[in-house]
Amino acid sequence: MDIDIIKPLVKPSKSKIVLVVMDGLGGLPRESDNCTELEAAHTPNLDRLAKKGICGLQQPVGPGMTPGSGPGHLGIFGYDPIKYKVGRGVLAALGIGFDLQPGDVAARGNFCTLDEDGAVVDRRAGRISTEKNQELCMLLKNITIPGVEVFVETVKEHRFLLVLRGKNLSGNLIDTDPQEIGKKPFEPQGLSSEAASTAAFVSQFLEQVRTVLAQQHPANMVLLRGFSTRPHWPSMQDAFGLKSAAIAGYPMYKGVSKLVGMDILETGNTINDEFTTLEKHWNEYDFFYLHVKKTDSAGEDGDFDRKVSVIEETDRELPRLLNLNPDVIMVTGDHSTPSVMKAHSWHPVPVLLSSKLCRPDKVDQFGERACLSGGLGNRFAAVDLMPLALAHAKRLEKYGA
């Protein structure tokens, strides 16, 4: 449901909502016992919440669509990721914790290989190492352009971040990446008249890059795409009347939380630390987002057992949350990361919503197959979750008389 429909219904309340996101929670069965990670895990606390509450399986973006971390989170925060788009440049900035200022233009860069005629031979320069990338970025950091500040930051392997900071910049530019071998990179070009000066700055940057990298091999040039500025969206406070805080250790998740106006709480590295942070700030916020990263990392590594043990570790911390007596608890993931696939996937993600006002369903265990028959439904849009949480927290007025 669109934020514009929900927003006028929001009413003040002292109720509290907690969203626990186990990154990449959804899985696929392993061969030995045909259980997914979540099904194999011993999770007495989650199972109890599932039994008392209402369950289902949510689709973060759309059918068959594998979400990146940004869109995966936006959906469960109540922002339809198809409507609330984040440019590739901004996502790159969020991913490395670069503090984008209003008006900054960010772009995703690739180191690439051009042949003697200037045509692209390899769009990723043989996927150079991150160390090599750092070395090259040191060279690019020396580039200066009159009229703008230039930031160049390593992301990973062949990928880097370019940020221009100055007055009247625009992200409305074409990509210079031709997306094809054998073609020359495109000249920077604005898609609107306001973008002309930004395009000129980018041209100057690329001219200097060409000189600086001339003797490098294989990374003798760069391609740029996804020019974008930090979007201006309604904050969680504006949209849903929720004073919101994020408890997350990794830059990407802090960044996405900032985009929707959450405060970022300082926290330690472990799940235990995160629950301590929750307890410490309990009285200060209406809404808490607590992010567990290592379910996803284990899934990406194809380490089924480690993913199981991170889920179990999270389950063991849950009584601390229950002791705080929140009005609504939601537990889900931003996407699935089945260990057997070693990657993000499109499979819908288990959700549980627990509150005194739930109409219970028949689900008495938190797992993919159990959630199939849950009252929240199956393959439902992730953006449905926030209005449901607000309703169960008695934070929405009636629609019409």
Please state the closest distance from residue 86 (CB atom) to a second copy, in A: 7
- DSSP state, 8? G
Please state the closest distance from residue 376 (CB atom) to a second copy, in A: 7
How far separated are the first and last CA of the chain, in Å rounded? 19
By beta-carbon proximity to a second copy, the closer residue of 318 and 328 is 328
Please state the closest distance from residue 33 (CB atom) to a second copy, in A: 13
- The contacts of residue 145 (CB under 8 Å, 6+ apart) are 201, 204, 205, 208
Site membership for a second copy, residue 8 (CB under 8 A) = no
Instruction: Find the binder of a second copy among 24, 67, 249, 333 (CB under 8 A).
Output: 67
By beta-carbon proximity to a second copy, the closer residue of 49 and 161 is 161
Cα dihedral 248, 250, 251, 255 in deg (nearest 10): -30
Residue list 150-209, contact with a second copy (CB under 8 A): none
Cα dihedral 323, 329, 335, 340 in deg (nearest 10): 50
Nearest Cα residue to 395 out of 77, 78, 11: 11
Instruction: Find the binder of a second copy among 12, 14, 31, 63 (CB under 8 A).
Output: 63
Instruction: Find the binder of a second copy among 13, 66, 189, 365 (CB under 8 A).
Output: 66
By beta-carbon proximity to a second copy, the closer residue of 109 and 387 is 387
Site membership for a second copy, residue 65 (CB under 8 A) = yes
User: By rule CB under 8 A, what count of residues binds a second copy?
Assistant: 66
Asked if residue 129 lies in contact with residue 121, where contact means CB atoms within 8 angstroms, the answer is no
Residue list 77-96, contact with a second copy (CB under 8 A): 81-82, 85-86, 88, 91-92, 95
Residue list 337-396, contact with a second copy (CB under 8 A): 341, 344-348, 357, 359-362, 368-369, 372-373, 375-380, 384-392, 396
Instruction: Find the binder of a second copy among 8, 12, 64, 102 (CB under 8 A).
Output: 64
Exposure class string for 363-401: b at 16+ Cβ within 10 A, else e = bebbbbbbbbebbbbeebbbbbbbbbbbebbebbeeeee
Please state the closest distance from residue 65 (CB atom) to a second copy, in A: 5
Site membership for a second copy, residue 326 (CB under 8 A) = no
Please state the closest distance from residue 47 (CB atom) to a second copy, in A: 18
**Token digits of residue 400:** 């019409």
- The string of DSSP letters for 290-342 reads EEE-HHHHHHHTT-HHHHHHHHHHHHHHHHHHHHT--SEEEEE-SSB--TTTT
Instruction: Find the binder of a second copy among 24, 70, 185, 249 (CB under 8 A).
Output: 70
By beta-carbon proximity to a second copy, the closer residue of 148 and 335 is 335
Nearest-10 crossing angle of helices 69-76, 385-392: 30
By beta-carbon proximity to a second copy, the closer residue of 148 and 225 is 225
Nearest Cα residue to 224 out of 189, 196, 192: 189
- The string of DSSP letters for 234-247 reads --HHHHH---EEEE
Residues that bind a second copy in the complex, under the rule CB under 8 A: 1, 5-6, 9, 26, 28-29, 34, 36, 57, 61-72, 81-82, 85-86, 88, 91-92, 95, 341, 344-348, 357, 359-362, 368-369, 372-373, 375-380, 384-392, 396-401
